[in-house]
Amino acid sequence: MAKTETLTINMGPQHPSTHGVLQVILELDGEVVVKATPHIGYLHRGVEKLAENKTYHQCITLVDRLDYLAGMSNNFSYVLAVEKLLDIEVPKRAQYIRIIMAELQRIASHLIWLGTHAHDIGAMTPLFYTFRERDEITFLFEMVCGARLTPSYFRIGGLASDLPDGFVSKATELMKLFPAKVDDYETLLTKNPIWMQRTKEVGILSAEDAVNLGASGPMIRGSNVPWDIRRSNPYSSYEDFNFIVPTGENGDCYDRYQVRIEEMRQSAEIVLQALERLPKGDINVYAPKVMLPPKEEVYTDIAALIHHFKIVSGGFNPPVGEVYSSVEAPKGELGFYIVSDGTNKPYRLRIRPPSFVNLESLPTMVEGSLIADVIAVIGSIDIVLGEVDR
């Protein structure tokens, strides 16, 4: 009998398609993966530890950098958690603007996913098309907050500033054009026989496994579990909007692809609805102990000046308690668990990262398939290492 040995191959942390610094140790029998062991942590920055030493407002910039492709969504989840702790609700206008930003961010994040995923499978052109549209969205972000990637636009109790002039018309125009662009990407991929061969029946995650492994977002919906936090626990007025929660059937890469494509269309739809119905009014809640007062008042009113000084120098002290709040980020359930001890800094800020938990199902999906499938599956999970490693 000839002796057979498996070949151990080290994929990453520097590898063209591990989307950052993911390392996967693959044990191969020929090209068939016998065992896949992901190693993470190369991008660990200790965000949770840092957050324990910053005031609540300062943490906003930290959470920007978790999933750096979806800064707005991270902001969103974090400020909602702190607002829940403080028991305040922001005005309707701010809620709508937050939804607009979160949905634009979802589109931007999915666009990058689509481009890189297609590129991993060898179709290089969609990458450039998706980046073109994503750029338009980041221009919109630049308009509202001056930053493209790490916006820090949301504030606890409202927003950093109101929408600038011309934003609504520009965003409306972009979102009206957007479905046609999605059609373009689909022309290149959806019915392409090679694309279908490469993604159908690849990386199957059954509904049971998906739930048991804690997959969320497009991952779990691709496995035919219609769970979307925007629908099941509407936050920030999501109940006002009409949208469909797309699901897949088999839980393979193709289903996840279709779910995300449809989500982009739905997000564009939500943005259009929100822009159309955008209420007038304040963008900040009236909570002098939490929110910075308007600048004019700081100059004219002594109480406002004192609040301004207090908040800037020391932040605010929320009540003792603990809250968990999660939103449907582009990658899945992004949750924040905040333990407050009554001081101006969170005693514990736990991030529930969707990419981290989704990545956990990688070995389940790839063992027994080929190397090429590993690439396709990693792409279809849509991980961002900044969030996996925190």
Partner 1 sequence: MLEVVITIGIMLVKMVIVLSVVMLMVAYVTLMERRVLGRMQVRHGPNRVGWQGLLQPIADGTKLFFKEELTVDKANKGLYHLAPVIYMGCALAIYAVIPFGNEIEVLGRVIPLHIADINIGILYVFALSSLGVYGLVLAGWSSNNKYSMLGGLRAAAQMISYELPLGLSIIGVLMLTGSLSMVDIVNAQEHVWFVFLQPFGFLLYLICAFAEVGRTPFDLVECDNEIVAGYQTEYSSMKFAIFYLGEYMHIIAVSAIAVTLFWGGWRGPFLPPVVWFIGKVLAFVFFFIWVRATYPRFRYDQLMRFGWKVLLPLTLLNIVVTALVTLII
Partner 2 sequence: MNEDDITIRKLKEKFPDSILDITFFRDEATIVVKKEDILPVARFLCSDEDLLYDFLSDLCCVDYLKREPRFEIVYHLYSIKKNKRLRIKAPIPRNYQVISSVYSVWKTANWLERECYDMYGIGFEDHPDLRRILLADDWEGHPLRKDYPLRGR
> Which residues of this chain interact with partner 1, rule CB under 8 A?
7, 9, 15-17, 31, 118-125, 127-129, 132, 188-189, 192, 194-195, 197-198, 370-373, 375
Residue 232 engages partner 2 in binding (rule: CB under 8 A): yes
Backbone angles phi, psi at 335, to 5 degrees: -120, 150
| Residues 81-100: x where in contact with partner 2 by CB under 8 A, - otherwise, as a string | ---xx-x-------------
Binding partner selected for residue 109 from partner 1, partner 2, none, CB under the kind-specific 5 to 8 Å limit: none
Of the candidates 60, 336, 98, the one whose C-alpha atom is nearest the C-alpha of residue 238 is: 98
Residues 341-380, interacting with partner 2 (CB under 8 A): 347-348, 350, 352, 356-357, 360
**Contact (Cβ atoms closer than 8 angstroms) between residue 92 and residue 279:** yes
Residues 278-307, interacting with partner 2 (CB under 8 A): none
Of the candidates 241, 272, 267, 275, the one whose C-alpha atom is nearest the C-alpha of residue 109 is: 267
Closest CB to partner 2 among residues 14, 53: 53
Single-letter amino acid, residue 315: G
CB of 195 to partner 1, least distance (A): 5
Treating both helix axes as pointing N-terminal to C-terminal, what angle do 167-189 and 125-145 enclose, rounded to 10 degrees?
Answer: 170
Binding partner selected for residue 278 from partner 1, partner 2, none, CB under the kind-specific 5 to 8 Å limit: none
C-alpha to C-alpha distance for 159 and 362, rounded to whole angstroms: 37
Binding partner selected for residue 84 from partner 1, partner 2, none, CB under the kind-specific 5 to 8 Å limit: partner 2
Binding partner selected for residue 87 from partner 2, partner 1, none, CB under the kind-specific 5 to 8 Å limit: partner 2
Instruction: State the residue for tokens 């206008």.
Output: 93
CB of 352 to partner 2, least distance (A): 4
C-alpha to C-alpha distance for 308 and 339, rounded to whole angstroms: 25
Residue 335 engages partner 2 in binding (rule: CB under 8 A): yes
End-to-end CA distance of the chain: 49
- Cite the beta strand spans of the chain per DSSP E: 7-11, 23-29, 32-39, 154-155, 158-159, 321-329, 332-340, 348-352
* 3-class state of residue 237 by DSSP: coil
Report CA Rg, the chain.
22
Residue 322 engages partner 2 in binding (rule: CB under 8 A): yes
The one segment of 11-19, 37-45, 107-115, 171-179 that binds partner 2 by CB under 8 A: 37-45
Tokens of residue 242, six digits? 């009409």
The one segment of 113-121, 227-235, 241-249, 288-296 that binds partner 2 by CB under 8 A: 227-235
Binding partner selected for residue 139 from partner 2, partner 1, none, CB under the kind-specific 5 to 8 Å limit: none
Distance of CA 307 to the CA centre of its chain: 33
CB of 117 to partner 1, least distance (A): 10
Residues making contact with partner 2 (CB under 8 A): 40-41, 44, 46, 48-50, 53, 84-85, 87, 209, 211-214, 225, 227, 232-233, 321-324, 326, 333, 335, 337, 339, 347-348, 350, 352, 356-357, 360, 389-390
